Structure 1
Amino acid sequence: MSVHLIHWSRDTPVVPAQLVTAALAMAVPITYGVTTDHLAHASFAALGALAMSHFGRPPTVLRRFVWLAGAQSGLGAVVTVGALAGAWLGGRGWGGAAGVVGLVAVAAVVGGFSRWMADATTRFVTFLVMATGLGAADPWEVARWFALGVAWAIVLGLAFSSSEPEAARPTYRQLWRRWRGKLRQFDGWLYAVQLVPALAVAEVIGQLWHQEKGYWIALAVVIVVRRRGGSLLRATQRCAGTCAGVLVGGALILWVPPSWVIVAVVSVLAGLRPLLKERNYAAYATVMTPLVVLLMDLGRTPGFSTVGYRLVDTVIGCLIAIVPTVLLRRRHVG
């Protein structure tokens, strides 16, 4: 297991354009926030850009525009709605927690319809839960700046994308039949079975244990429990990387670096993400988590206790998330 945690894969090529796109997507909103002293707006826009961090490669210029106007714009709308809903539900007590779990349950089932829907609903779930931690921010203001970050990332995707062969796509009728057939089997409900109970437990603990960063318990759950890559190894990699990332992120915000250092750090971390995601998932999570920490705490200086609570919350969330994976693994082995 430990060997796999540090394994460096070279199976998938990563082109420099991907690194440049990822870095610029984060650097520009944060630079705007630093120069205008609108750090909250910058953090919302940067989170929107983060939500649109991965782009495919359409084969022609015309198809590129069609693709961005359709699939990617739709994806951006889905994650923006998720951010809006999360910002609105956050801080609303048990009703808000129930709303989050209900939306996640629907998304977990609907996401099995197609690959695009799986991608969209996974991002929806992640940024829904993440946005519940934005505190007293106006939900519509969050959505507006989040959408600007989404648009900026789409523009970058257009500028830096390159060509590759187009795969054949199934029709909507074929997708519907396949999805309906999957829902007649346990595997069609597997993601929901893994995610929803674990998230519900996380939300209950977050409501009963009143502290500022309680939403990190639920966030750790949605980071660890994924629709694809649901093996125990991948879950362990995500847990280890997320916990390490919380420590790194905590050290960065306690250091209170100058504003331009924050811009540089965010740019480097964001630029490394496409490479590390393909090479080593634990390293990817280690970079992704401090990036989220910096964006969520931009303009604020939490104390040692806040950083400590976040780490404890993350460990709790990871332990909750691992349980369904272990139980289902034993079920298949048995």
Structure 2
Amino acid sequence: MVTSWPKGAPGVGTSADRLAAKINEMSGGRLTVTVYGAGELVPPFEVFDAVSSGTAEMGHGASHFWSGKDPAFNYFTGLPFGLTAHERIGWLTFGGGQALWDESYAPFGVRAFFAGSSGVQAGGWFREPIKTLDDLQGLKMRIAGLGGEVLRQLGVTVTLMPPGDIFGAMTSGTIDAAEWVGPWNDIAFGLPDVAKHYYLPAFHEPGPALECLVNEDAFGALPKDLQAIVQAAAGAAALESLGEFTFYNAQAFATLDDLGVTVHTWPKDIVTAMRTASDGVLKDLSEANELCRRIHASYSSYRSKAVIYANASEREMLRLRVKNQP
């Protein structure tokens, strides 16, 4: 299994390790999966190609890393102001999302399984506070997915680089700001050492998906029980991944003050601009090709209902459980 993550990286690398261990154990040793960190066999953004070509039988990454092959891939990591992690599970499992994912990857000989999520991510690390839209002009920032296109429209100079390169790029001044995942990962990657202003949440990644990639020919050659084990192991690893991120992000968040970090929420005028730009980016995505049109119709129909329900249930419950909340 080739991955897009540094070996053993918190949350992402550990999720890949856990998935491999589950397959090995559940199969009684009949199927052995060896995990390779980013760059050990293939570069981090070439994982999909390696699985497609059969260079590796399995991979672990995120679909937006290879969305240049088909913009439809963006739907299966996450969209700006899109589905949360558990809403995504609902769409994939019961709303037809998995069938659309299968269709998207089929021309490349790749099958994907949902393999985890960080939950709501953080918006990024900045050397100086972001108070107005003017503060974004010309800012050089590492940001992944469609969030990068949104910020590009707001004047940010966007770059995408492998996670293992973020700290060095911030230290050298190659970039001025960066988003990665959340407190647990970000602290582990040293980001509080190079920037002290931390913005939450990530407007573009409310519940992004990790994916387990399997070469279709290799998967088809497995007996049915081993195919079922791979799928079940991915599902089990996904559940534990979300739990792991949720638990350790809470622990890490509690240490930010001691690290001299100032936590911010986004100013309202910037959120408004992000939403307006996102609407345009998503409209363009929905019209990119026939597959995007069908995926968008399915995704957005479910999202509209999920938002209404979440506002009445989860949002209200979160408000009620905070002490002294008006």
TM-score bin, normalised by smaller chain: under 0.3
Q: Give the number of the structure whose residues are more often helix, by fraction.
A: 1
Q: Give the number of the structure whose residues are more often strand, by fraction.
A: 2
Instruction: Report the TM-score, using the length of structure 2 for normalisation.
Output: 0.26
